Structure 1
Amino acid sequence: MTAGGADVDVLVVGGGPVGLAAAVEARTAGLTALVVEPRGTPVDKACGEGLMPGAVDALARLGVDPPGRPLAGIAYVRGDLRAEHRFRGPSGRGVRRTTLHAALAARAADMGVERSDGRVTAVEQDATGVVAAGVRARWLLACDGLHSTVRRLTGLEGPAASGRSRRSRRRYGVRRHYRRAPWTDLVEVHWADDVEAYVTPVADDLVGVALLGPAPLDLDRALAAMPALAGRLAGAEVDGPDRGAGPLRQGTRARTAGRVLLVGDASGYVDALTGEGLRLGFAQAAAAVAHLGDPAGYERAWAAATRDYRLLTGTLVAVATSPLRPALVPAAVRLPPVFAAAVERLAR
């Protein structure tokens, strides 16, 4: 046993990319780590699959280098209008989610991270430890996603959205893969009246399309409103089932409760519009391990790591769900320095 009669130093609930990164961070810090995840490896999910340059750097620091396609920048497209910016520094990477997850799982195993297929139905803690899924740990890192069970069990859920106007602004996501060669080295964001389609090259013969917007989401119907994108995908074979997620916005009262720390999407989420969820999740994983036993320090680190994301993404979502939406891409075209500055800020 570890200090204090615990079975393990760090119990990570959720074995997705952020949970595995948190476990690797713990092992790098000389701590024992166990991941609780009932699903087998690799786990697929609805996501844009574009890693920003900062996320690629974070993976390299963890010793993970998944294969994929270089991403040189971001383009916003609406009809004949196109604004694009190429990263000034290193490229990002388009990586199939299952490929990324398998690479992180292999690294975690190499680092001696243990794994359990249990489920968390209760969280109990005292002055020296926390118990969940039949395991006693010194600390628990909740990396269990948008609809975090640990967040709910520890009373850290933020106020629920209420009122018709808030419900009408709830956004969801659905992702589909097409078997065809990528036509660009950029992430293209195609804008229609009420949805956006995020197009990401993820392999030499595979393109991912992630649709964001209000429910119900119908990818085929959305593509009909984006003829240029529909033309690119015409005749391409759909690879695998569509996957959905949402509602995307999730609030939290705080990121810590005693010896429990919320990490990644479980710690609160604004929207996938800016495509930096994994970059932020990896940064939070590092901060959580660095601040075990220092909840106030983790709260400060979390706030610093997510400040730009919360401000810019919140602003963009507010515009995207308002009558100003049709002006967003034209503004990006007319103001390239502003568009470039926003992309660079979020990329790092």
Structure 2
Amino acid sequence: MSATRTFRIASIPADGVGKEVVSAGRRVLDALASHAGGTFAFEWTEFPWGCEYYAETGKMMADDGLETLKDFDAIYFGAVGWENVPDHISLWGLRLNITQNFDQWANIRPVRFLPGVQSPLRKADDTELDWVVVRENSEGEYAGIGGRNLRGRGPGNEVALQTALFTEKGCERIMRFAFDLARTRTVKKVSSVTKSNAQQYGMVLWDEVFDRVALDYPDVTTESVLVDAMSAKFVLKPEDLSVVVASNLNADILSDLGSALAGSLGLAASANLNPERRFPSMFEPVHGTAPDIAGKGISNPIGAIASAALMLDHFGLHDEARQLESAIERTTAAGHLTRDIGGEATTDDVTDAIIEALAPSPAVL
């Protein structure tokens, strides 16, 4: 029997542990589909792009890569970067090439504290903590505007300029996205992160747009917090957070801090969304390629698998997304933990445990 709906997914494992965790996520999604009674299925097409591809071709992805990707329903991404390619080339040549050209302007990064995983934050022992970082993903500090000049004047005289771009349109759309998300949560609150005391142009525009947009959401509590103070708040008062919206760079840093507080970057999921659905969205774990453990079969697949849950939500499969998140929680609660979170389980061990937790309970006769 053919599936009622087949989702065409472009798989880009890229480099290092990205290959291992994408493979794990694909196994989990296929297992979930196998229990769905033929209501949906996944059709995978894998692309070899990344630093190995660069070593062979001098390019991080094929020349027609974007044209090839645009007709897929979603992109499932691993991690990019290796010692043979400078980081700014690998990042701009593949990941940012996709997110910016496909206008994936909303990046969401949930911070979840899983049962059985010890957090370095003592407050997590007896306080329910759950928040999401909403990252402006198309401009800000990652706009790529600037240059290097005056090298011809001799050593020590070169000047580099890196310009952050803030547009009223870009600020407003990510803020409305954050407010709409807050309305779906138990705690309806949006915390805006800025540095307008020092960055008096772009960040002041950010603050002004936030104040204006907030007027349209009187049911949502708001606050504006400087990024240094928000870093402290993540540690000292995380129970006060629900939705945190920030610029490209600030949200990138804060979401890593949140994941570390939850126990490991290996747990962190993310979604790069084109909310208008003019282009496919991309789902990826937050962690890097981890060269020190790549190929050893001990990487943590939970970030990639939780990113798959975000992809299910994007497809409207909300019950299945909650089912997958529940399977992850049951797995960690049962003690199936990789080394980064205090256990000895392998990548396959954790993946197998999640798949087992997804299986329907046998009928009672």
Q: What TM-score comes out, normalization by structure 2 length?
A: 0.26
Q: Which has the higher helix share?
A: 2
Give the TM-score, by structure 1 length: 0.27
